[in-house]
């Protein structure tokens, strides 16, 4: 199962009949972190008409969800935002939609659309990462195999964390655990059996940016 999360905090703004809706999304990894983020947004936008929060912690059956209308008519704000969030497949995310009232009443349907649209906009804008089981490895490659090794790492969906240029080039690379064995086999073939990547760390909940295929 792909466990999508936000890669970084993201903010977008939309306007509906002169009301301004500012949607801010952030990665959070516990209910306490989500509550801290919501409190931070309420302090930043203390003069706003409403600060509507929603969050989803975890993925799948273990997901913890929450939403509030924050004074908007019942069911017109938090619930629509949470419905959009559920449909996105994201977890470990909190979103606060800040509204500055523009003087025109939107009505029940208008509010539902506005909060849904603001949630969709910030989800579409935010860069995504995934939480996966990884191995971090180190390998030393000679200069004549450096570019080929880099291409191989990319082809096998690795993420280079560090490059140290000395007598050889020492690369620190993170792989999804399932991708390491194919990389090792290809590396052996490339180097005629001379180079082997060594696992230096394993992490069951590593954050990896999505690699476009």
Report the phi/psi class of residue 60: left, alpha or beta, with left for phi > 0 and alpha for psi in -120 to 50: left
Tell me the average pLDDT across 133-158: 93
Q: How confident is the model at residue 149 (pLDDT cuts 50, 70, 90)?
A: very high
DSSP 172-188: EEEEEHHHHHHHHHHHH
76-95 pLDDT, tens digit each: 999 999 999 999 989 999 99
Which of 2, 4, 3 minimizes the C-alpha distance to 128?
4
State pLDDT tens for residues 13-64: 999 998 899 999 999 999 999 999 999 999 999 999 999 999 999 887 778 9
* pLDDT given at position 116: 97
DSSP state of 104: S
Q: Does residue 154 have a pLDDT over 50?
A: yes
Q: pLDDT tens digits for 156-180?
A: 989 899 999 988 999 999 998 989 9
What pLDDT is stored for residue 213 in this prediction? 44
Domains (range + CATH), the chain = 4-126 (3.30.230.30), 130-209 (3.30.70.240)
- Of 70-74, 147-151, 159-163, 202-206, the poorest mean pLDDT is in 202-206
The kind and range of the H/E element at 122 are: helix 107-125
Work out the pLDDT band at 200, boundaries 50, 70, 90.
Answer: very high
Number of CB atoms found within 10 A of residue 62's CB:
8
Residue 211: pLDDT over 70: no
DSSP state of 90: B
- pTM for this prediction: 0.71
Say what the pLDDT of residue 110 is: 92
Asked if residue 102 has pLDDT above 80, the reply is yes
């Amino acid at each position: 199962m792909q466990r999508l999360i936000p890669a970084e905090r993201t903010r977008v703004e939309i306007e509906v009949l002169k009301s301004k809706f500012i949607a801010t999304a952030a990665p959070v990894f516990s209910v306490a972190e989500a509550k801290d983020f919501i409190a931070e947004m309420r302090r930043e936008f203390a003069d706003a008409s409403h600060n509507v929060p929603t969050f989803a912690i975890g993925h799948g059956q273990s997901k913890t969800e929450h939403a509030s209308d924050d004074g908007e008519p019942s069911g017109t704000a938090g619930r629509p935002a949470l419905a959009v969030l559920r449909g996105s497949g994201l977890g470990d995310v909190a979103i606060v939609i800040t509204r500055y009232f523009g003087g025109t009443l939107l009505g029940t349907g208008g509010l539902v659309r506005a909060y849904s649209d603001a949630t969709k906009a910030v989800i579409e804008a935010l860069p995504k990462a995934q939480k996966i089981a990884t191995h971090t490895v180190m390998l030393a490659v000679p200069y004549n195999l450096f570019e080929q090794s880099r291409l191989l790492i990319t082809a096998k969906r690795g993420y280079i964390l560090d490059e140290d240029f000395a007598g050889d080039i020492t690369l620190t690379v993170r792989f999804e655990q399932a991708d390491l064995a194919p990389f090792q086999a290809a590396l052996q073939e490339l180097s005629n059996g001379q180079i082997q990547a060594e696992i230096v760390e394993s992490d069951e909940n590593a954050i990896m940016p999505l690699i476009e295929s």
